[in-house]
Amino acid sequence: MPLPGVPSVPLAGRVLRRLVACALVVFVAGCHVAPGTPPARIELSAQPNGVAVSPGDGGLFITDDRSNAILWSQDRSTYEAYAHVPVVPGQPNGLSQLVLAQPDALLVARFGFGETGALFIVSSHGGAQPLTGLATDRRRLGLAPIGPGRVLSSWFIKRDGQPITGGVSLVSYDVATHAATERDLIAGLTKPVGLAVRGDALLVSDQSRNVILRYDLRVLLAAQAPVPAQSGAMVAQVESPDLLAIDSAGTLYTKCHAHAVCRVEPDGTVTSLADDFQDARGVAIDDARHTLYVVDRAKSTSPTASAIRVIPLSR
């Protein structure tokens, strides 16, 4: 049975409701600022991080660190629990990106804090199953599917007294058995977060270095050893880029600066779309509806709830 929106499946869980008003787009130094309608807010009683869009009906999947679950909404205002990821006793919840890997399965990354990094597959039958055989000391962040049973994973390793080192790997997995193998494609990144693939181009945001880099995916897959990070071409300098989304024209969207979300054109031009976010996290594009969804995660001391921000995109 396929996932919701590809079409629907049985769901369970609490309903989280409320729609509220929008906020203003203001200036971010060093970037162009896009005029237009301020992004609307869909307020959430959750601690969201990643977001993905169903290709069929435009329904949303969201990772929630409060319940360590994946939430789903078909109407983009009412959210229900779709699947729960096993909680690690004594460790904070930390679900990173989630992606539609194929019509009947989601993949979600667990950050893992250097101990329990993992990827989970979630089928339409519910329940999250870990892919076996992967290194658990890798702090998992971005994901980008590149075909059945294959997904790119960004990660970094942080050990006491040692420099942070990160990379991008190819994870090949069996949907039925959940067995997986991992091959490193890029080495020498610092803190790679976002991944986006368009054609033969792989885009990677290295948050610690404030850059977005482009690699030839064909070269990476054919190489006998991981290619060095410096072999990537710089697309743009962006302060604190995070998870990435890419549209059909090759334009990227990501968090930028402390409180903004930016558009990055293929020529490297960076434009601020809004800079009133509490903490921008995941981004997802609904190309069919020309809409960008951005997770706006509330700070622990904030009186304002977390939200999904809805930004119309020009056609």
CA distance readout (Å), 283 to 63, 169, 236: 12, 21, 18
Among 49-58, 94-103, 143-152, the range with the most confident prediction by mean pLDDT is: 143-152
Residue pLDDT, tens place only, 203-261: 999 999 999 999 999 999 999 999 999 999 999 999 999 999 999 999 999 999 999 99
pLDDT score for 201: 97
% of the chain exceeding 70 in pLDDT: 87
Residue pLDDT, tens place only, 145-192: 999 999 999 999 999 888 999 999 999 999 999 999 999 999 999 999
Residue pLDDT, tens place only, 76-91: 888 999 999 999 999 9
Residue 35 has pLDDT above 70, yes or no: no
According to DSSP, the residues that pair with 63 across neighbouring strands are 70
Output phi, psi for 269, to 5 deg: -65, 130
Tell me if 308 sits within 8 A of 42, measured CB to CB: yes
Tell me if 212 sits within 8 A of 205, measured CB to CB: yes
According to DSSP, the residues that pair with 237 across neighbouring strands are 211
How far is 207 from 292, CA to CA, in rounded Å? 21
pLDDT score for 37: 53
Sign of CA dihedral 234, 135, 156, 61: positive
Domains of the chain and any CATH numbers: 32-312 (2.120.10.30)
% of the chain exceeding 90 in pLDDT: 76
Cβ within 8 Å of residue 144, ≥6 positions away: 99, 151, 152, 195, 196, 197, 202
Q: For 149-163, b where at least 16 C-beta lie within 10 A, e where not — what string?
A: eebbbbbbbeeeeee
pLDDT score for 34: 52
How far is 65 from 154, CA to CA, in rounded Å? 19
Cβ of 225: how many Cβ atoms within 10 Å? 9
Alpha helix locations (H) across 45-135? Answer: none
Output phi, psi for 258, to 5 deg: -80, -35
Residue pLDDT, tens place only, 112-131: 999 999 999 998 766 899 99
